[in-house]
Amino acid sequence: MTSTSPNNSRLNDQLPLSTNMQAVQEKLQLFRVLYVESNERRVESFRQAFGSQIDVTDVPDGQSALAQLEHGEPVDLVLFNDDLDSLLFLKELGAKRKLAHVPVVLLTDRTNIDLRQAPFHGHVIDAFPHNYSEEALRIRLKYLIQKKDYEQSGRINPKSASIRIPIGKRLFDIFVSLFILIMISPILLVVAILVKLDSKGPVFYSSKRVGTGFKIFNMYKFRTMSTGADKLLAGMASQNMYNAPVVEKTDDERCEVCKIAGTSCQQPLFMDQKQICEILYQREQKAKAMFSKFKEDPRVTRLGKILRNTSIDELPQFYNILRGDMSFVGNRPLPIYEAEKLTTIGYARRFAAPAGLTGLWQVTKRGKAKVSDQERIQLDVLYAKTYSFRTDMLILLKTLKAVWQKENV
């Protein structure tokens, strides 16, 4: 068994005693991952990718993992190779009451695994393939790290369990979505044919979205954009409706405090072998738009504009609702690159609500070109705090009135 922890980028011997003590306290609160893996190459690859963010301890099998959990330092997450008899490990983990709270992420190539069934339910919070996307796993880990920090700050209840959709809401979703899918099946067939005739490419478009409790799933729509549209996104950043006003940079890369004091940078960061001011860097990150949306999006096909304006492109999401990935009403499930920007204290609260086909933001701000990303976040957080069956019914009624949008957004 081996263990590594992140290195501090600043020189400890140049820091005052109080700063060193603070660094020790921070180390004690590191996010600890127990990686159950017998393949040393996989372990080393994981360390290289994530070792700077978390404290990694690796063990070769389930029995060693149980011993480490019982007698070693507290662990925030278990990353388990499904090939090492995960079923036995999870059964024994469930039998130990004091370890029942430890979340598990499975690395598995099984595609038919149902995390809602025993012994996975209550322990396994997510599953990734062995050849996982580093970006997707990094986002998941970042959310869990921020969640831990948020709990330690005392602003949420540490006893909160895994996020579940209320049973009444879930039953409503199942019966209504199934009924609607049966009724609109002829419409789905006609639209599928039109999409195929309108432009080259598949009929349906699926994208990785982040939903309830930051669970990543495939969300389905009728394709409304030309093939390869995602690759054009970076080049369209200047057209984003959520962009903040651009602030011109000066040659002096110091913040106002250091300029007034006439000193060199007192809060340096080192990125890409270059020193930058931490205050200025955080200011730039905050100014970046957290969402992406474009008016008169050139990537949209001719038929796609009609499908979007009538929301017909979202009809396949009734299948997501039937599966339990989404609900009829909730916060919109975000693409991973957008969700990453919201995994910070105060913003992560929006992921405590169910992911939804429509929601509070859609019926109050959708179609208004001047809506800010801060307004959208506030509405999402508000819904997460106050949602109820009555609220959902009111939002559904308002959604029916808002289907035909006034602006092409």
Q: How confident is the model over 324-358, as pLDDT tens digits?
A: 999 999 998 988 777 766 765 456 778 888 899 88
**Per-residue model confidence (pLDDT) at position 133:** 81
Higher pLDDT pick, 146 / 269 = 146
Cβ partners under 8 Å of residue 344, min gap 6: 146
On the question of pLDDT at 289 being above 80, the answer is no
CB atoms near residue 207 (< 10 Å) = 13
**Per-residue model confidence (pLDDT) at position 119:** 85
Structure tokens at 303: 């038929």
Give the number of C-alpha atoms closer than 13 A to the C-alpha of residue 237, restricted to the C-beta side. 9
**Per-residue model confidence (pLDDT) at position 160:** 40
Tell the burial category of 158 from Cβ atoms under 10 Å away from its Cβ (0-12, 13-18, 19+): exposed
On the question of pLDDT at 295 being above 60, the answer is no
Q: What is the mean pLDDT of the chain?
A: 76
**Per-residue model confidence (pLDDT) at position 245:** 52
Q: What is the mean pLDDT of residues 157-161?
A: 42
Strands 77-81 and 55-59, by their bridges, are unpaired
On the question of pLDDT at 316 being above 60, the answer is yes
CB atoms near residue 60 (< 10 Å) = 16
Cβ atoms of 363 and 402 closer than 8 Å: yes
Highest mean pLDDT among 138-142, 230-234, 258-262, 345-349: 138-142
**Per-residue model confidence (pLDDT) at position 283:** 61
Q: Does residue 357 sit in helix, strand or coil?
A: strand
Cβ atoms of 399 and 358 closer than 8 Å: yes
Cα–Cα distance list, 52 to 75, 140, 289 (Å) = 17, 15, 26
Q: What is the mean pLDDT of residues 202-221?
A: 88
CB atoms near residue 202 (< 10 Å) = 11
Q: Does residue 106 sit in helix, strand or coil?
A: strand
Q: Does residue 319 sit in helix, strand or coil?
A: helix
On the question of pLDDT at 126 being above 70, the answer is yes
On the question of pLDDT at 33 being above 60, the answer is yes
Q: What is the mean pLDDT of residues 185-197?
A: 94
Of 106-115, 197-206, 263-272, the range with the lowest mean pLDDT is 263-272
Q: What is the mean pLDDT of residues 81-88?
A: 93
pTM recorded for the entire structure: 0.51
**Per-residue model confidence (pLDDT) at position 146:** 75
Q: What is the mean pLDDT of residues 237-262?
A: 57
On the question of pLDDT at 309 being above 90, the answer is no
